[in-house]
Amino acid sequence: MIKIGVFDSGIGGLSVAKAIERSLPGVEVVFRNDHEHMPYGDKPPAVVLGYVVPILQMLVDQGCSVIVIACNTVTTHHIATLRRRISVPLVGIEPMVKPAVQHTEIGIIAVCATPATLASKRYAWLKEAYAGETRVIEPDCSRWAYMIEHDAVNEAMIKRQVDAMCTAGVDVIVLGCTHYHWIEDLIRKLAAGRAIVIQPEEAVISRLKAVITKANERQS
């Protein structure tokens, strides 16, 4: 049975791992996180890279033939370096700027992500490449991942932030951190009738299927 590694700083990746298990019942999913060092989103990228490499290597040593980096923070800063250092294919996750721009009717989107993701060159490139005339709002979500990891979601705070996004005219909200997938339903409910909410699990699963098919072809 093919083993797929899924990695995140914390429980964000668990939501992705569960989605993979639901869609690909014939695979074994090995989930690893780095709860001790999370949140990654407020740490210097070089420090985070030092945490991530040994964990990914461990997944390779455990027999994973592909690894999903279920972390926007790690993908946006380090995917290229990791692809050079880790010997199996890596599937990354990054904020869905392009699909959001395609969906917006008003021309204003919100990207909810960690401070590190928002500060990354890759995210700047995504906006440069795909946002065009679309206005991109980046609410301060710096406390969200920690709050979600520690099961201490402050619904009133989330409501204020979602209301502020909608009042600013946003009609598409991008969940650009996998931790936020756990509060997707809450955000969807708060934004109902005003904005849609998008996150990348489906896209990641399609990408993963393509990578597995290619690997199987190479083996046969």
- Catalytic residue positions? 71, 177
- Which residue number, 104 or 114, has a Cβ lying nearer to ligand DGL? 114
Q: DSSP state, 202?
A: H
- Which residue number, 33 or 104, has a Cβ lying nearer to ligand DGL? 33
Pairing relation of β-strands 135-137 and 108-112?
Answer: parallel
Sheet with 196-198, strands from edge to edge, namely: 135-137, 108-112, 172-175, 196-198
Q: How many CB atoms lie within 10 A of CB 108?
A: 18
3 vs 106: CA distance, rounded Å: 43
213 vs 91: CA distance, rounded Å: 14
Each residue 181-210 as x (binds ligand DGL by CB under 6 A) or -, in order, gives: ------------------------------
For residue 76, the minimal CB distance to ligand DGL (Å) is 8
For residue 5, the minimal CB distance to ligand DGL (Å) is 16
Which of 177, 195, 205, 211 contacts ligand DGL by CB under 6 A? Answer: 177
Of residues 135-164, those binding ligand DGL (CB under 6 A): 145
Q: By the 8 A CB rule, do 65 and 3 touch?
A: yes
Of residues 81-110, those binding ligand DGL (CB under 6 A): none
Binding site for ligand DGL (CB under 6 A): 8-10, 12, 38-41, 71-73, 114, 117, 145, 177-179
